[in-house]
Every structure is written in structure tokens, then in C-alpha cells.
A and B are shown apart, each in its own frame.
Chain A
Amino acid sequence: MSHIHLPDGVVPAIWWAVGYLISLIVVFAVLKRVDAEKVRGRIPEMAMMAAVMLITMSVPLGFIPFHMNFAALAGMLVGPGLGFVVVFVVNFILALLGHGGISVVGLNTLIIGIEALAGGAAFRLLRGKFGAVPSAIVSTAVALLLSTALMILFLSSIGVVNIQSGEGVLHGENHAEDGTGGQEEGLHREDTAYRFGGIALAGWAAVLAVLFLGIILESVVTALVIRFFMKVRPDIVNHASDKDR
């Protein structure tokens, strides 16, 4: 759900350099830790998850100003660590196509990677006690809350978001003529006023309403996808409990 769409040249160099450094350290650490031969057989699944994320992150939902990431789902299906690697690959390809600056790939990987790490880890912890579907809902919601908080903190620290009014947090409502997007994070002029039916919300009320809707929607869809997998191919979900993922 969270994604920094800032173009190159906006984020101070120290921030994006540190973002790249930390995300690359995590990616390399994960790849070094896993058993390459064991994991190689699951590359098609990781790649397919990345392809799904590429598509969902390119299509805004329309009725609320955000797009789904499915990073938490990636964490559940391929494991938290490898989910983080998948997020890096997706962000890199999106940046090459102009969706988010190439310099913010590291920061985006960290923010969205948190969804994969937290979502995957929480799902692994909870599913034994509460079952796959409730665990998927809770894990996704927690992961999305974490990543959104991290994104707002980052954007406010570089002065793009006004932490007091909530101005600048939401995606825009304009969309590209090809239908692929036009959403932005952090830079919208009119994002403090949103209409939900007959109710108009502004400031943090609007931000929280949109975030709440977004988190519920992505959590429910993720849980339903997990439920579908548990019905037809439980082995894919159960793989994620392997130790080296």
C-alpha cells in the first residue's frame, strides 16, 4: 500500500544513499543466508509474485486513492526474507520504467520490504494458533500499519508531509490517460479534502479514513487469496514455514 513516488532529485542524497546501502545489505544478507540450491527450485514462485506486484502496483484502485502492493502476501508465500528480495526486484524494475525515482529504490525497498518482512514473520508466528485466514488478515494489517507509519515519518522528516495537518500523505486522484496511474504519495495539493458518500473529510481525518479503507481492503484480499491457496494448493503456503526463508 505504501510507496514513495517522489522523482529523482527531490530526496536529499544522504537519505537515498543510506536507503540503498541498508536495503542492499539486507538483500545480500538474505541471499547469503539461504541455501541457494534449495531456494533455486522456488525461483518461479518468487518471480511470479514479483510479476503480480509489478502489475498491482501499477494499477490504482480508483475509488480510493491508493494501489495494493501484495508485499505482505509475498512475505507469506515465499517467506519474509525472500519476500524482501522480491520487493527490491519489483521496485528496481518500476523505477527503470519511471514509476518512482531510481534514487528512491532503496528507500522504497525498505518501506515496502517491511510489509514483506513483518507480514511474513507475523503470519508464520500466528498461523499455528489462529489458522491461516485470520492470521493473514492480522499479519497484513500489522505490516501495512508499520510500513505506512515508516513512510509518513520519512516523508515528514524530509519536509514533504505536514505531520500536524496530514497534508501530503495520500495518493492523487488524477490518472494517466492510459489508465495506469497518476497517483502520488506525499505531494498532493487537494488531498486534505476527500468525499466518502455524503461525508467530506479533511486533514488527518481524510488520511486516516483512506488508510483504514486501504488496509482493510488489502488485508481482506490477501486473506482471501491465502484461503484460496489453502483450498487448492496448501503446499505453496506451507512452504513459507521452511526455516531458510
Chain B
Amino acid sequence: MHLAAIDQMASSGASLFHRAGVPSKLLMTLCLLGAVIGSGDVLALGLLIVILLILHLIARVQFKELVHLLFYPFFFSLLFALLKFQESWASGLLVIFKGTGAALVTLFLLATTPWVEVFAFLSAYLPGLLVDIFLFTYRSFFILIDQVDSLLRSIKIRGGYHPFNVIVNVKNMAAAVGLILLHSFEISQRMYKIYLLRGYDGGIPIVRRWWKLGYPDGVVIVLSAFIVIGMVIAWRLL
């Protein structure tokens, strides 16, 4: 999982896209996703992917992390594309471009926007309980990663892993999962109580004025419009 690295990029970045507001970036994400999923033109999609890579470059996204995360969509779309290549090379490429293009779009949003800000914006529209689960899952993930890391190390040090004894491994694995869950439950319950002590009563209070648009928002909105218009023109040319 690369959630920690993505989170670090989103929180510490200072590019134009990092400074843009959540609504404008969500708008751009929707426009880009619509363009990627709806397009049937290989050249237009290829161009869109080049634009997306340039955007990642401008936002100074770490390409090492990006390549790791793009492996999933690329690999799965490649397998399906292999069947499509029998029809035509364009059909095969289209599948690969759509799979990796959509992943590039969502990763761009995550690499330039801290999760908490996305949840804060969504909390205005989604049920408070759902937003809370998203928010606490995000927090819990980091607690869990720490727990898993230290537990796996102690299992190995204390001889709990037997390469050729599946039964013992399954038994130890279940105990490890149970122990991790239990520890993490207790830590997250404590975290929740601390939230309550600090005045948390569900949802995320929004202190930002989303409707106040700045220069970075203008750039993002113009870019979104440019991409949508560009894709529509490309469709009509077909």
C-alpha cells in the first residue's frame, strides 16, 4: 500500500494544483474521468494521458510511487487488451489507455489533495456517518500499518513463521490478525474518545470558504473546460 506516500505528497506539496480548492479539483477529476471513460479515440486518449503525465510532473508527484500504483490498472487492462488486440491494435490500446488513464486521474487528485480536505468537502453532501467512517478508516490505516509492522517483526524474531508448516502458519496468522484487530480497536477507540473530548460530534466542521475562488482554481477550471471541449471536438471529428 502506498497510502502513506500519497498522503505525504498531498500534504507537503506546494504546486499550483496543491493550492487549488477541493471543489475545482473534484470538478477537474469528474471532467477527466468522463473524458477517459467516454472516449473511443485512441489518439485523443493517448494525448489525454500525455497531458495527465505533464500535470503530474507540474505537481511534482513522485514517479516511483506512481509507477508502482499504475502497475495494477496497467496489468489488468493489458490482459484484457491481449484479447482485444486480436480484433485490432486500436481496440487493445484503447483498453490499456482507459484503464491507466482513469487511474492517473484519481491518483492526481489524491497526490494533490489531502484526504481530510476531500472528506471535509464531501461531508456537506454525504451522510455524516459515512464521512466519519471514511475519515476514521483513513486514520486507522496508519495505526494498523504500525501495528502490523511491529507484529510481523516479532513473529519472525520469536520463530512464529514456519516456511513449510502451513497449519502452524494459518493458526499463527489468525492469532496475529486477531491480536492486531484487538490492539488497533483499542487504540482507535482511545483516539475516538480523544476526538470526543476535543468537541467532535460527527462530521467535519468546514472552516474553508470553498466558493472563494483563487488564481489556482481559475487555472484548474479553465483546464477542465479545455479538456472537455477538446474531447467533444475529437468525438465529432470521428
A residues near B, CB below 8 A?
5-10, 13, 27-28, 31-32, 34, 36, 39-41, 43-52, 54-55, 58, 70, 85-86, 89-90, 92-93, 95-103, 160, 172, 174, 176-178, 180-182, 184, 187-189, 217, 220-221, 223-225, 227-229, 232-233, 236
B219 at the interface (CB under 8 A from A): no
- Contact present for B95 and A9 (CB under 8 Å): yes
Q: Report A69 CB to chain B, min CB distance, Å.
A: 13
- Contact present for A174 and B75 (CB under 8 Å): yes
With A6-B76, A51-B143 given, is the CB distance from A40 to B129 under 8 Å? yes
Which of B1-9, B17-25, B50-58 has 4 or more CB atoms under 8 Å from chain A?
B1-9
Q: What are 6 A-B contacts defined by CB distance under 8 Å? A: A7-B73, A7-B98, A9-B37, A36-B129, A55-B144, A233-B185
With A54-B1, A97-B3, A225-B181 given, is the CB distance from A9 to B99 under 8 Å? yes
Q: How far is the CA of A187 from the CA of B134 in the complex (A)?
A: 31
Q: How far is the CA of A225 from the CA of B33 in the complex (A)?
A: 40
Contacts of B156 in A (CB 8 A): none
Q: A85 touches which one: B95, B130, B171, B184 (CB < 8 A)?
A: B130
- Contact present for B36 and A27 (CB under 8 Å): no
- Contact present for A8 and B170 (CB under 8 Å): no
Q: How far is the CA of A48 from the CA of B147 in the complex (A)?
A: 12
With A6-B80, A7-B103 given, is the CB distance from A46 to B133 under 8 Å? yes
Q: How far is the CA of A9 from the CA of B77 in the complex (A)?
A: 9
Interface residues on chain B, size class: 35 or more
With A31-B127, A55-B148, A174-B75 given, is the CB distance from A101 to B99 under 8 Å? yes
- Contact present for B178 and A228 (CB under 8 Å): yes
- Contact present for B75 and A96 (CB under 8 Å): no
Most A CB contacts (10 A, CB to CB) among B6, B70, B180 go to B180
Most A CB contacts (10 A, CB to CB) among B136, B145, B202 go to B136
Q: Report B150 CB to chain A, min CB distance, Å.
A: 14
Q: A228 touches which one: B129, B174, B185 (CB < 8 A)?
A: B174
12 more A-B contacts (CB under 8 A) besides A31-B127, A46-B136, A97-B72? A7-B77, A7-B99, A9-B98, A44-B185, A49-B181, A97-B110, A98-B69, A187-B76, A221-B173, A225-B174, A229-B178, A232-B178
Q: A98 touches which one: B73, B130, B145, B171 (CB < 8 A)?
A: B73
Interface of B is mostly: helix
Q: How far is the CA of A49 from the CA of B141 in the complex (A)?
A: 10
- Contact present for B106 and A102 (CB under 8 Å): yes
Q: How far is the CA of A97 from the CA of B6 in the complex (A)?
A: 9
- Contact present for A225 and B177 (CB under 8 Å): yes
B63 at the interface (CB under 8 A from A): no
Contacts of A39 in B (CB 8 A): 129
Q: Report A217 CB to chain B, min CB distance, Å.
A: 7
Query: Which 10 A-B pairs have CB atoms at the shortest separation, nearest pair first?
Result: A7-B99, A9-B98, A224-B174, A228-B178, A47-B136, A44-B188, A8-B102, A98-B103, A187-B79, A51-B140
**Chain B positions 173-191 with a Cβ under 8 Å from a chain A Cβ:** 173-175, 177-182, 184-185, 188-189, 191
Contacts of A184 in B (CB 8 A): 75-76, 79
- Contact present for B180 and A52 (CB under 8 Å): yes
B94 at the interface (CB under 8 A from A): yes
**Chain B positions 92-143 with a Cβ under 8 Å from a chain A Cβ:** 94-95, 98-103, 106-107, 109-110, 127-130, 132-141, 143
Contacts of B82 in A (CB 8 A): 189
- Contact present for B37 and A103 (CB under 8 Å): yes
